Chain A
Amino acid sequence: MENGLWELLGSKGLLKRHEFIRILVQCLYSLGFKKSASCLEHESNILYKSADFGLLEKQVLSGNWDSCLAVLDRIFDSSSDHTRDTALYLVLKQCLVEYLKQGDISLALNVLRKQAPLLGMGKEKIHRLACDIVYTKEMESGEADSFLVQDLRKNLLVELEKLIPLPIVIGERRLEHLVESAVLHQIDTCLYHNSWDAVSLYKDHCCGRDQIPSETVQILMAHKNEVWFVQFSNSGKYLATASSDCTAMIWKLQVLDDNKVELKHTLESHQNPVSFVSWSPDDTKLLTCGNAEVLKLWDVETGVLRHTFGNNNTGFTVSSCAWFPDSARLVCGSSDPERGIVMWDTDGNEIKAWRGTRIPKVVDLAVTPDGESMITVFSDKEIRILHLETKVERVISEEQPITSLSVSSDGKFFIVNLSSQEIHLWDLAGEWKQPLKFSGHRQSKYVIRSCFGGLDSSFIASGSEDSQVYLWNLKNAKPLEVLSGHSMTVNCVSWNPRNPRMLASASDDQTIRIWGPGKPNKPEKWLDNQKMQ
């Protein structure tokens, strides 16, 4: 008998008491606490197994097929025909197999001829049942021993359990599922969430500022002029910076010294400001180029210049470049209109080129991590996504000039900075009609760059002309955090791909700042965070 059928629990009175207790009992059983479970059943007078199911179980395990069918008929009275038919089919099949094994052919025939039609089974189904029996492998083994029969009956019960409707049988691990749903929902609304550590059940989950980089940890001073570009290597162990002092620098993270960044190489060879660098996917090579500069290839380990591209074509200035996943081929876009896009190998041989009047000046260029698509931003409002295999091209026309491009690490999304002070997020698959828009930073005259970062690329960081670094959670169009520290325009940011709590920023004040986890929220800030949810 079920007790307290109409009692309700919860502050809003939405939970039924007897259901709550029943799933508690199920939970105890599934965790292995049989004694506690049955104790709870006694104390509350609520059984995990409903009366109907208990009855069915007894009939099946003892082979009382007639009563079994009667119980099934009653249970399935109000449910959809499909499950009822399947259940009946399974029971009849087991029943027939047993009769035939025993040698009771007349009983078996009786089932097929009389009982099945009585239960509402169609002729076609009965024929199919008969065929099934003949071919079933259980029939091949001859005499059946009692163990085999019991096993088969237990299997039948398991199958029946899946078909029987609620509330006679409830889905397994129901309580675990409900708790996990609540936790997932809390994580969804958590704007600072940045780690995969297990969540505590003791309080509602809500991460604070200590999960994302928000305090200056280190200031790198080595460049003699404005720093225009910064990027972590794919392994997250190195950092590359480029400056208007015509050099690029490679820095190393000292793992044993709390990840302090130290200068490893200064790459000198360019005659003009360097505005862009690109790490090869295996991090052994680095490309440098500038809006008014040629493209150069360097060896990361030694800092030695390997190659200058377009040697015989001086004046082939490259605005942007990207690598293919094999770290052997690269592609670069010219900062002059009609010079086009050229694909090279690391020895300087030209593999492929796109030239001509359809190719205006390239503002920025990227290759997706799987090497299948090339995204190009053309002067100044056009984005073209070219699938290299199929040669299919997709064009997105923005309404305002685009200054930079960045692709997410999973290759599914990319962001562009517009000089109208907005960052637009597009999907590579081309399903979105409108981009997601983020704003709050300042950009009007200069090239400001942004990047994805954090756990699962759920954050965006951008530089700004007001000398601050802006961070957004993808769920919110307004900035999550604004980081102050630099004294002049922040040109570029890079989030460490292997350390979601480390961010680097490059500024006109000639320094690079490394940002790390902040102090936990002050009480007022925490309240603000709650309001945003």
Chain B
Amino acid sequence: MGRLFLVNLEGKSYSCKHCKTNLALYDDVVSKSFQSRHGKAYLFSKVVNVYAGKEEDRMMMTGLHTVVDIYCVKCGSYVGWRYEFAFEKNQKYKEGKSVLERYKVWGPDGNNYWVAQEVEAGESDTDDA
């Protein structure tokens, strides 16, 4: 569909598990203590080569947030979500930042992450820094 415009990242980066498209830099990790449906997730200040889905209000462990799910531009697979708006004041720092699920990306050292155990249903969150 058109000629995809892909941004190349230099340095230690996380890539889409399916098509290896660069998604974010190791240097842009803000927090590693987020949780998602499938386990660990990292909060990044900046991700590239993703497009967003519809805006939704979701109740997370830390409160109500307006989020959009983000998908890899090349293969279209779901990779995480982005915070558009936080209702609670102490969660405002998340606004504009994106979460990538560790399970959906290749790590910088080629490390992968396997779903270890069943995590409780419902959206998770955390990081009360």
Give A residues with C-beta under 8 Å from B.
Answer: 226, 228, 244, 273, 275, 291, 337, 360-361, 379-380, 401, 403, 419, 444-448, 465, 488-489, 491, 508
**Given A228-B2, A446-B1, A447-B2, CB of A379 within 8 Å of CB of B7:** yes
| 18 A–B contacts, CB within 8 A, in A order | A244-B3, A401-B48, A403-B5, A419-B5, A444-B51, A445-B5, A445-B73, A446-B1, A446-B2, A446-B5, A447-B3, A447-B4, A448-B2, A465-B2, A488-B1, A489-B1, A489-B2, A491-B3
Give chain B residues whose Cβ lies under 8 Å from the Cβ of A361. Answer: 8
Q: In chain B between 42 and 57, which residues have their CB closer than 8 angstroms to a CB of chain A? A: 48, 51
Whether the Cβ atoms of A445 and B4 lie closer than 8 Å is: yes
Bound complex: CA of A444 vs CA of B70, how far in Å? 13
Give chain A residues whose Cβ lies under 8 Å from the Cβ of B48. Answer: 401
**Given A444-B51, A445-B51, A445-B73, CB of A337 within 8 Å of CB of B3:** no
Give B residues with C-beta under 8 Å from A.
Answer: 1-5, 7-8, 48, 51, 73
Bound complex: CA of A337 vs CA of B11, how far in Å? 14
* Closest Cβ–Cβ distance, residue B3 to chain A (whole Å): 4
* Closest Cβ–Cβ distance, residue A166 to chain B (whole Å): 62
Choose among A273, A360, A447, A488 the residue that contacts B5 (Cβ–Cβ < 8 A). Answer: A447
* Closest Cβ–Cβ distance, residue B77 to chain A (whole Å): 14
Whether the Cβ atoms of A508 and B5 lie closer than 8 Å is: no
Bound complex: CA of A361 vs CA of B8, how far in Å? 9
Q: Quick one: closest A residue to B73, CB to CB?
A: A445
Choose among B2, B7, B51, B73 the residue that contacts A508 (Cβ–Cβ < 8 A). Answer: B2
* Closest Cβ–Cβ distance, residue B75 to chain A (whole Å): 12
Give chain A residues whose Cβ lies under 8 Å from the Cβ of B51. Answer: 444-445
Whether the Cβ atoms of A337 and B2 lie closer than 8 Å is: no
* Closest Cβ–Cβ distance, residue B49 to chain A (whole Å): 9
Whether the Cβ atoms of A275 and B1 lie closer than 8 Å is: no
* Closest Cβ–Cβ distance, residue B17 to chain A (whole Å): 19
* Closest Cβ–Cβ distance, residue B1 to chain A (whole Å): 6
Bound complex: CA of A419 vs CA of B48, how far in Å? 11
Q: Quick one: closest B residue to A273, CB to CB?
A: B3
* Closest Cβ–Cβ distance, residue A176 to chain B (whole Å): 54
Bound complex: CA of A447 vs CA of B73, how far in Å? 12
Whether the Cβ atoms of B8 and A445 lie closer than 8 Å is: no
Q: Quick one: closest B residue to A444, CB to CB?
A: B51
Bound complex: CA of A488 vs CA of B1, how far in Å? 9
**Given A444-B51, A445-B51, A445-B73, CB of A491 within 8 Å of CB of B8:** no
Whether the Cβ atoms of B2 and A226 lie closer than 8 Å is: yes
Bound complex: CA of A360 vs CA of B10, how far in Å? 10
Q: Quick one: closest B residue to A449, CB to CB?
A: B3
Bound complex: CA of A465 vs CA of B73, how far in Å? 14
Bound complex: CA of A244 vs CA of B51, how far in Å? 22
* Closest Cβ–Cβ distance, residue A336 to chain B (whole Å): 10
Whether the Cβ atoms of B3 and A380 lie closer than 8 Å is: no
Give chain A residues whose Cβ lies under 8 Å from the Cβ of B4. Answer: 445-447
Give chain B residues whose Cβ lies under 8 Å from the Cβ of A491. Answer: 2-3
Give chain B residues whose Cβ lies under 8 Å from the Cβ of A445. Answer: 1-2, 4-5, 51, 73
Bound complex: CA of A377 vs CA of B7, how far in Å? 13
* Closest Cβ–Cβ distance, residue A400 to chain B (whole Å): 10
Give chain A residues whose Cβ lies under 8 Å from the Cβ of B3. Answer: 228, 244, 273, 275, 291, 446-447, 491
Bound complex: CA of A273 vs CA of B8, how far in Å? 20
